[in-house]
Structure 1
Amino acid sequence: MRLAVIGAGAVGGTIAALAEHAGHDVTIVARGEQRDAIRANGLSLAGAFGHMTGHPHVVDTIGTADRFDLVVVAVKAHQTAAAVAPIELSSTTPLLVVQNGFGGFDAVRDRFPENPAAIGLALFGATIAEPGRIHATYAASLVVGGDRNAVNMTRSILSTQLRVRLTRNPAGAAWTKVLINSVNAMPALTGLSVQRTIAHRGLRRIVTALMREVAQVGYARGEKFADLGAVSARDVRFLSVVPLRWGQLIPLRLAQKMGVVPNYASTLQSIKRGRTTEVDHLSGAIVDAAAEISRTAPINHTVTELIREVARTGEFMTPDEVVDRIPLR
């Protein structure tokens, strides 16, 4: 089958490498040093999914003359509108939007309102070791939900190499994913791995407080959280009402699931590469979602401002500095 992947970052590159390894015809829409490296030396994936090197087609854009069985949009939420703007597709081409944070799926639907489309939530971990080389830090599933045709095509292409699981509540699963992505915040501020930040008592309390605030804002809006990986809807309800000392069991479980290979979360990876972060579509989006119902999300607000500061200055904080600047009740 023919697959196009828009975005050759850690997640998009992992999906492209696994699909080509399964024997599919893969085209990547990429830019910059990642595009140049893949053209010159191929795309290599190492780590939790095994070791493989492929040579996908690399292009600057795709058009209606290019026929694909599935197009995966795997760029950061804040980059989605610009990434899909020059793309031309047949209205029957299925789309999978691999979403981290809010806004990416809506941008794709605005650009391609007639196409069958599904949301994808990547639970596996991956980093760009260097241009053209991706390291999968831990293996986990890709959760998909939405249009049946898009979901079925995703399963047909990817399920031999990747666990593809179905959610019947993609909107609720997206909220649970944003809650899980609270673990991204402390690495972005400190430069440390997820595992090391969760191991630090003070940082773990902040992560737990972030998660609890996401849950409380979501419930206040009437959102219906869905089971997603290691976090169930019951876990979210638990987080929303219990003291932090009990709620910290959830981030501890997530860190354990990641194993011992350091996971440098996506927001931190963007900061290290000098790229704009997705924080406005993660913690920042929770602040906006709270404001829409005349509530506040003070912890997510503070974290958003601090991540912007670190991204601007390039200077990470010590764990103790983070604890001092994010006071908890």
Structure 2
Amino acid sequence: MRIAVVGAGGVGGYFGARLAAAGSDVTFVARGGHLQAIRENGLTVRSPLGELRVSPGAVVPAIADIEGADVVLVAVKLWDTEDVARQLRPLAESGATVISLQNGVQKDTVLRRHLPAASVLGGVCYISAFIEEPGVVVHNGTLQRMVFGGYGGAESGPARALLDHALKAGIEAELSPDIERAIWEKFVFLVGLSAATTAVRQPIGVIRGDAGSRSLLYEVMREVVEVGRARGVALDPGFADDRLAFCDTLPPSMTSSMHNDLEHGHRLELAWLSGAVATLGEELGVGTPRNRAVADILSPYALGAPAVPEA
């Protein structure tokens, strides 16, 4: 099976490297110095599960350079989804199955606007990984899980084949009979963690230990559950309580990628996280005051560190 990984950052780089190390035919799409480093020295993954270095079958600068694929894993930032979807059309029309491992609940809607609906499967991943330097991905902790499947529980040969390859590579993976629910379950936690750590500018240990910020974390997640249920997703009404209890088990130093992006002056995925919850809430008539407040508070940083106007 030919696997293409669009976006060789923390998520795509990690899972792609594991698959390549286990013998899968993997093509990476990368950019800039990261692309050059992988071409010259291979891709290195540093992980508590073991360090590895792979020389992928191919690493290319553009989707158009992919010479055929059976499965495409999309792992770019959410604002690049529309552009990537347009470029993937020839591969999808040639039979490739597309699985997004991105955050958010709107990603597959964007993909299906440009690709045959049957070619898009749902996917979600659980991992903390980032590019430490060009050609090097660092995996934080031992969590490295992928969940994917067809919408409506549809069976998929490519999904079954990817599952086999992932398990062979030592990746915790599973097929979901209700992938939409799985995506929303992660979304509840992800929006809560991202909103609270970024708005408060502190890791989860501080957030959960203070009554005010703990309430913010909980209410943000509760609003996501209400929006999901209003959209017909089979979320348990008390799922926010479950996720708050889960937050109490996390390392106190844990933060979010959005918090990290804020601290480094990078663009934020705000519009696809709390911003999306607020927008969907308005469409569905569900109140989301906490997520709206977070979106408004962080709005000046959405495109990166704001410039201070001159007097």
* Same fold flag (TM > 0.5): yes
Alignment partner of 1:204 out of 209, 214, 224: 214
Alignment partner of 1:271 out of 256, 259, 262: 262
Task: Tell me the distance in 2 between the aligned counterparts of 1:65 and 1:280.
Answer: 30
Residue 184 (1) aligns with residue 175 (2): no
Moved more, 124-133 or 194-203: 194-203
SS across alignment from 2:50? coil
Residue 145 (1) aligns with residue 149 (2): yes
Deviation, structure 1 residue 34: 2.7
Task: Tell me the distance in 2 between the aligned counterparts of 1:36 and 1:238.
Answer: 48
Moved more, 60-69 or 158-167: 60-69
Provide, for residues 31-65 of structure 1, a one-character-per-residue CA deviation record: whole Å limited to 9, x for no partner.
Answer: 23332332333222112432111122221223497
- Report the counterpart of residue 326 of structure 1 in structure 2: none
Task: Tell me the distance in 2 between the aligned counterparts of 1:154 and 1:270.
Answer: 31
Task: Map 1:109-120 to 2 at 5 A.
Answer: 109-113=112-116, 116-120=119-123
- Report the counterpart of residue 309 of structure 2 in structure 1: none
- Report the counterpart of residue 157 of structure 1 in structure 2: 165
Give the aligned length: 296
Task: Tell me the distance in 2 between the aligned counterparts of 1:47 and 1:252.
Answer: 27
Deviation, structure 1 residue 126: 1.7
Residue 283 (1) aligns with residue 274 (2): yes
The answer on whether the counterparts of 2:6 and 2:63 sit within 8 Å (CA) in structure 1 is no
Provide, for residues 63-106 of structure 1, a one-character-per-residue CA deviation record: whole Å limited to 9, x for no partner.
Answer: 49712231111112221111232333143112211131022112
Going from structure 1 to structure 2, the CA distance change for 1:124 and 1:60 (only over 3 Å counts) comes to same
Alignment partner of 1:122 out of 105, 120, 125: 125
Runs (5+) with no aligned partner, structure 1: 226-232, 241-246, 316-329
- Report the counterpart of residue 5 of structure 1 in structure 2: 5
Task: Tell me the distance in 1 between the aligned counterparts of 2:39 and 2:244.
Answer: 39
* Residue identity in the other structure for 1:172: R
Alignment partner of 2:183 out of 153, 158, 174: 174
* Residue identity in the other structure for 1:74: A
- Report the counterpart of residue 16 of structure 1 in structure 2: 16
Going from structure 1 to structure 2, the CA distance change for 1:219 and 1:137 (only over 3 Å counts) comes to same
- Report the counterpart of residue 51 of structure 1 in structure 2: 51
* Residue identity in the other structure for 1:79: D
SS across alignment from 1:121? strand
SS across alignment from 2:238? helix
* Residue identity in the other structure for 1:153: A
SS across alignment from 1:23? coil
The answer on whether the counterparts of 2:70 and 2:95 sit within 8 Å (CA) in structure 1 is no
Deviation, structure 1 residue 314: 3.6
SS across alignment from 2:121? strand
- Report the counterpart of residue 95 of structure 1 in structure 2: 98
* Residue identity in the other structure for 2:162: T
Deviation, structure 1 residue 279: 1.5
> Over aligned residues, Cα RMSD in angstroms?
2.5
Going from structure 1 to structure 2, the CA distance change for 1:200 and 1:65 (only over 3 Å counts) comes to closer
- Report the counterpart of residue 87 of structure 2 in structure 1: 86
- Report the counterpart of residue 247 of structure 2 in structure 1: 254
Going from structure 1 to structure 2, the CA distance change for 1:308 and 1:34 (only over 3 Å counts) comes to farther
Q: Give me the TM-score of the superposition, normalised by structure 1.
A: 0.80
The answer on whether the counterparts of 1:46 and 1:135 sit within 8 Å (CA) in structure 2 is yes
* Residue identity in the other structure for 2:3: L
- Report the counterpart of residue 76 of structure 2 in structure 1: 75
Task: Map 1:208-247 to 2 at 5 A.
Answer: 208-225=218-235, 233=236, 237-239=237-239, 247=241
Provide, for residues 220-253 of structure 1, a one-character-per-residue CA deviation record: whole Å limited to 9, x for no partner.
Answer: 343212xxxxxxx4xxx2256xxxxxx3x63342
Provide, for residues 228-282 of structure 1, a one-character-per-residue CA deviation record: whole Å limited to 9, x for no partner.
Answer: xxxxx4xxx2256xxxxxx3x63342352x447x444221233345442212111
